[in-house]
């Protein structure tokens, strides 16, 4: 009996200590927790109860001259003949940075290999890398980029600083270049250079859409009712004077999404009359889509910002997976020879 009482008291003491620890953490973090909870409640309430963003476009509308200030940077590297083929199923626009040569090489030799796609999949896919100028000007890097462009002819570079806060400028580059040089492409895909794209699966999906003559398509991993981040220490901090509303329009994760050719044209037109100072490119795409009358569609096999679980059953259908640098070639072997998938996932112990 005495021992049981001691155990009960000890257990109560441990509970008390645990509660004190939890309360201490909550007191320290309460401002952030409270702010996040309130932001999401406001955002979801607006998204699912009101769900009207037309006024945002009216507030962000500018004159064509003002809009051109964001999207009229001169080209430093370009190849207007990339899309000279008439029957282009897909234009692949990869967002890259000047120094990411190894990533671009990995893509060219795997899921961006135009020759493989043409001969093995029987369709024409064109690959282009979009970039600005390195924030720290380096003559050596500039020369290397010119050499790379001479060898591959797939770089499109404009004269703006390649930084996080200029991602929207890079988005404008993609839609402007498509309008000028590849408007006949049936589909346009934009992706990060650390994304793996399962091209065989993507091509099958797009061929099916083409047979159905699908239009007004914008597909990817959709964010609905996302609130602006108001914490100044966040990478995604959004000042109130730049965007004062409680909820962003629906948008797809910028890591990888696809639009049909008609939507690409509509988005380009929308960019010619909107204030592009919104530096979160995914959100700006959502704002443009409202003006264009387009809504994003969720596709379960576009992973968005996350990695796709490496399981054979999932891998058979996946289209994009984010966060890959060193394993792209392994994944491509699995995509082009399904018998490799079990061996590769076992060897690398993917999570």
pLDDT tens string 187-222:
999 999 999 999 999 999 999 999 999 999 999 999
> Cβ(245)–Cβ(50) under 8 Å?
no
Residue among 65, 70, 95, 130 nearest 277 (CA): 70
Rounded average pLDDT over 159-184:
97
Residue 1 above 50 pLDDT?
A: no
Q: What's the rounded Cα separation, in Å, for the pair 47 and 56? A: 13
Q: What's the rounded Cα separation, in Å, for the pair 341 and 253? A: 27
What backbone phi and psi angles, to 5 degrees, belong to 196? -100, 130
Q: State residue 8's pLDDT score.
A: 47
Confidence of residue 333 (pLDDT cuts 50, 70, 90): confident
Structure tokens at 259: 């639009």
Q: What's the rounded Cα separation, in Å, for the pair 94 and 294? A: 22
Residue 260 above 50 pLDDT?
A: yes
Strand bridging mode 195-197 / 218-220: unpaired
pLDDT in tens, 80-125: 999 998 899 999 999 999 999 999 999 999 999 999 999 999 999 9
Q: State residue 18's pLDDT score.
A: 64
Query: Where does residue 51 fall: left (phi above 0), alpha (psi -120 to 50 degrees), or beta otherwise?
Result: left
Q: State residue 346's pLDDT score.
A: 46
Other C-beta atoms closer than 10 Å to the C-beta of 9 total: 10
The class (CATH top level) of 62-348 is alpha beta
Lowest mean per-residue pLDDT among 24-38, 117-131, 138-152, 206-220: 24-38
What is the value of pTM for the model shown? 0.83
What backbone phi and psi angles, to 5 degrees, belong to 113? -75, 100
Structure tokens at 95: 């967002």
What lies within 8 Å, CB to CB, of 5 at 6+ separation is: none
> Cβ(126)–Cβ(83) under 8 Å?
yes
């Amino acid at each position: 009996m005495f021992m049981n009482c001691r155990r009960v008291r000890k257990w109560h003491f441990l509970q008390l200590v645990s509660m004190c620890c939890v309360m201490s953490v909550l007191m320290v973090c309460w401002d952030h927790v409270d702010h996040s909870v309130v932001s999401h409640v406001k955002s979801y309430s607006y998204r699912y109860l009101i769900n009207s963003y037309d006024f945002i476009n009216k507030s962000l509308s500018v004159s064509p001259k003002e809009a051109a200030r964001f999207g009229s940077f001169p080209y430093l590297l370009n190849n207007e003949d990339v899309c000279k083929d008439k029957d282009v199923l897909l234009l692949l626009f990869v967002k890259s940075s000047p120094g990411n040569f190894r990533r671009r090489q990995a893509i060219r030799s795997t899921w961006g290999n135009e020759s493989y796609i043409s001969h093995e999949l029987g369709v024409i896919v064109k690959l282009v890398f979009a970039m600005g100028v390195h924030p720290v000007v380096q003559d050596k890097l500039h020369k290397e980029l010119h050499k790379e462009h001479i060898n591959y002819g797939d770089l499109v570079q404009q004269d703006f600083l390649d930084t996080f806060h200029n991602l929207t400028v890079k988005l404008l580059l993609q839609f402007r270049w498509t309008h000028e040089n590849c408007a006949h492409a049936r589909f346009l895909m934009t992706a990060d250079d650390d994304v793996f794209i399962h091209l065989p699966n993507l091509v099958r999906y797009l061929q099916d859409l083409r047979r159905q003559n699908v239009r007004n398509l914008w597909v990817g991993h959709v964010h609905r009712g996302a609130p602006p981040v108001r914490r100044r220490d966040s990478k995604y901090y959004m000042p109130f004077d730049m965007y004062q509303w409680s909820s962003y329009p629906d948008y797809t994760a910028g890591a990888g999404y696809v639009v049909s050719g008609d939507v690409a044209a509509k988005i380009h037109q929308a960019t010619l009359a909107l204030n592009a100072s919104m530096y979160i490119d995914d959100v700006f795409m959502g704002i443009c889509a409202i003006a264009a009358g387009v809504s994003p569609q969720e596709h379960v096999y576009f992973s968005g910002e996350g990695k796709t679980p490496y399981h054979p059953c999932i891998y058979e259908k996946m289209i994009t997976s984010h966060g890959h640098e060193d394993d792209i070639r392994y994944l491509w072997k699995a995509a082009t020879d399904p018998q490799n998938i079990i061996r590769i996932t076992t060897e690398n112990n993917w999570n």
